[in-house]
Amino acid sequence: MALTQRLELRQSHALVMTPQLMQAIKLLALSNLELATYVEGELERNPLLQHLGEDESDTGQPSAGDAVTQLGEGIQSTWVEGDRPGDGTAGSQPEAEEFAPAEGETASAQSNGEDPPRYSEWAGIGSGRRDGNDYNLEAHVSAEKTLADHLAEQLTLSISDPVRRMIGQYLIDMVDEAGYLNAELDVVAEKLGAGRAEVEAVLAILQGFDPSGVCARNLGECLAIQLRERNRFDPAMQALVEHLDLLAKRDLSGLRKICAVSEEDLVEMIAEIRRLNPKPGLAFGSVVVQPIVPDVFVRSRPDGGFTVELNSDTLPRVLVNQDYHADIVKSAKTEHDKTYLADCMQTATWLVRALEQRAKTILKVATEIVRQQDGFFAHGVEHLRPLNLRTIADAIGMHESTVSRVTANKYMATNRGIFELKYFFTSAIAAADGGEAHSAEAVRYRIRQLINEEAAEHVLSDDTIVQRLHAAGIDIARRTVAKYREAMRIPSSVQRRREKQASLNTPS
């Protein structure tokens, strides 16, 4: 076969991530505060953008931003009880539509048996050119871990039941920066529709988290938790903790009588109390406390259903000043000026459409969450259903990653409190017997627990761990066990056997 050079033309399809498409995807994950900051920056850079309500917008002339004006007036959908998840109304694929609706059109979806409108997933976004000078180095700096983050990580490893996990996350959100729980358990139980005993059981688990003493409701309980972990909470110490007011008054004689100890023992007990941490949460990074502004309101309806409505106060109200553009484009003489104005117009139009599409997507996802979790909203946390991102994505015809971005940093105000959208999701591993699924975090916890309890002469291999998990009703593959074990930085069975045998042979 002869080797020759030749020129060929081939056609192929490829998905190109334009700068505007990447920015549109970025908008999905922004919180309402971050979005407001981003929009303010765009208003400063682009002379064709303006806030709704400025003098130029009061001329009565329609513009490309009028769709956003309508969006800010209250966008909502309804979920009527009786429409169940998986009824076939939410599984159709989205159709390609323009971003801006027609004049007078409101973006709403009815879930009372009719198919809600389907919106394209960022369809129609132009390529356009953008300056590359908005690189933010601070975005690549790892954020300091907060106490809430630290507790949430432990929660996913300790609790697999979705009901208890939601109760736990609700309680964690009420822990202040010092580590104390500022909540009445009766109020929490009533809000979530759970029994007080269930809330107390979850709180007992949280009080076993690191740092020691966290989630206490008062100073005495905080010190008692730390003393129990040190195995020093005997009756005398319990009496001292229950009478901290006398310790503050330096009434040592009164404390000796109450604790029934000698003066020397009392001095040692007080010294041990002073070694404890009265504010365990301060060991973690603190963040500026911002009041949570919900992105979505969920309201009960007389017919037993729910109305899902976007919070118009969180929607940036911007529009394109078409009149100003028409005036200055006439005076543009150089090619550079014309190109600049064209870019400004394209960027402004894109931003208005992207903001509207972001609002529609949030409403769409929130409505489906209410559809899937209607039992929780109507009857309480005991009726919470297992739910993952894929279920929502399949139901509304979007990609799973899009749903993940939408649920980040978005909050829903309900009759049971304010919840982050991600509260309603839990990843799961199928049960071996076809029963209730197990969360991935719970499975990792079980693997670590099995390895911690293994004897030096009976080190568990990955295959043995798989068998133990299968016996417990968890359907998992060996490679998954190995992946979880390596992610937790646990050595292989061979390495663990050598280490444990070496420790046994080492003289004490």
Contacts of 251 (CB under 8 A, 6+ apart): none
Of the chain, the percentage scoring pLDDT greater than 70 comes to: 75
Phi/psi of residue 360, each to 5°?
-65, -40
pLDDT tens-digit series, residues 10-45: 887 766 667 767 777 888 888 888 888 899 999 999
- Separation of alpha carbons 305 and 79, rounded Å: 5
pLDDT tens-digit series, residues 444-481: 778 888 998 888 888 999 999 999 988 888 878 888 89
The pLDDT value given to residue 278: 92
The pLDDT value given to residue 57: 41
pLDDT tens-digit series, residues 413-437: 998 888 888 888 865 555 555 555 5
pLDDT beyond 70 at 362: yes
Contacts of 469 (CB under 8 A, 6+ apart): 443, 446, 447, 476, 481
- Separation of alpha carbons 345 and 326, rounded Å: 11
110 forms bridges with which residues in the sheet? Answer: 78
Of the chain, the percentage scoring pLDDT greater than 90 comes to: 23
Spatial contact of 298 and 284, defined as CB atoms under 8 Å apart? no
Whole-number average pLDDT of the chain: 77
pLDDT beyond 60 at 293: yes
Q: Rounded mean pLDDT of 66-79?
A: 45
Which of residues 422 and 53 earns the better pLDDT score? 422
Length of the chain: 508
Among candidate residues 25, 19, 32, the one with its CA nearest the CA of residue 317: 32
pLDDT tens-digit series, residues 299-315: 988 888 899 999 988 88
- Separation of alpha carbons 32 and 70, rounded Å: 18
pLDDT beyond 80 at 78: no
Side chain identity at 443, as an amino acid letter? V
pLDDT beyond 70 at 355: yes
**C-alpha dist (Å) from residue 132 to 18, 47, 232, 280, 346:** 13, 18, 61, 44, 16
pLDDT band at 108 (very low <50, low <70, confident <90, very high): very low
Counting beta carbons within 10 angstroms of the beta carbon of residue 237, is it exposed (0 to 12), middle (13 to 18) or buried (19 or more)?
A: buried
DSSP string, 472-486: TTB---HHHHHHHHH
pLDDT tens-digit series, residues 92-105: 333 333 333 333 33
Side chain identity at 166, as an amino acid letter? M
Phi/psi of residue 170, each to 5°?
-60, -45
pLDDT beyond 50 at 255: yes
Which domains does the chain show, CATH number per domain?
23-50+292-426 (no CATH), 148-283 (no CATH), 440-505 (1.10.10)
pLDDT tens-digit series, residues 192-234: 888 899 999 999 999 999 889 999 999 999 999 999 988 889 9
- Separation of alpha carbons 41 and 347, rounded Å: 13
Q: How far apart are the first and last CA of the chain?
A: 76
Spatial contact of 410 and 296, defined as CB atoms under 8 Å apart? yes
Q: Please state which of the ranges 58-72, 395-409, 450-464, 467-481 shows the lowest mean pLDDT.
A: 58-72
| pTM for this predicted structure | 0.59
- Indicate left, alpha or beta for 234 from its phi (over 0: left) and psi (-120 to 50: alpha): beta
The pLDDT value given to residue 51: 82
DSSP string, 373-439: THHHHHH-GGGPPP--HHHHHHHHT--HHHHHHHHTT-EEEETTEEEEGGGG----B-BTTSSS-B-
Q: Please state which of the ranges 123-132, 139-148, 190-199, 351-360 shows the lowest mean pLDDT.
A: 123-132
pLDDT beyond 60 at 90: no
180 forms bridges with which residues in the sheet? Answer: 216
Among candidate residues 499, 359, 376, the one with its CA nearest the CA of residue 426: 376
The pLDDT value given to residue 93: 35
Radius of gyration of the chain (CA): 29
Q: Rounded mean pLDDT of 394-398?
A: 91
Which of residues 495 and 62 earns the better pLDDT score? 495
pLDDT beyond 60 at 498: yes
Q: Rounded mean pLDDT of 268-295?
A: 83
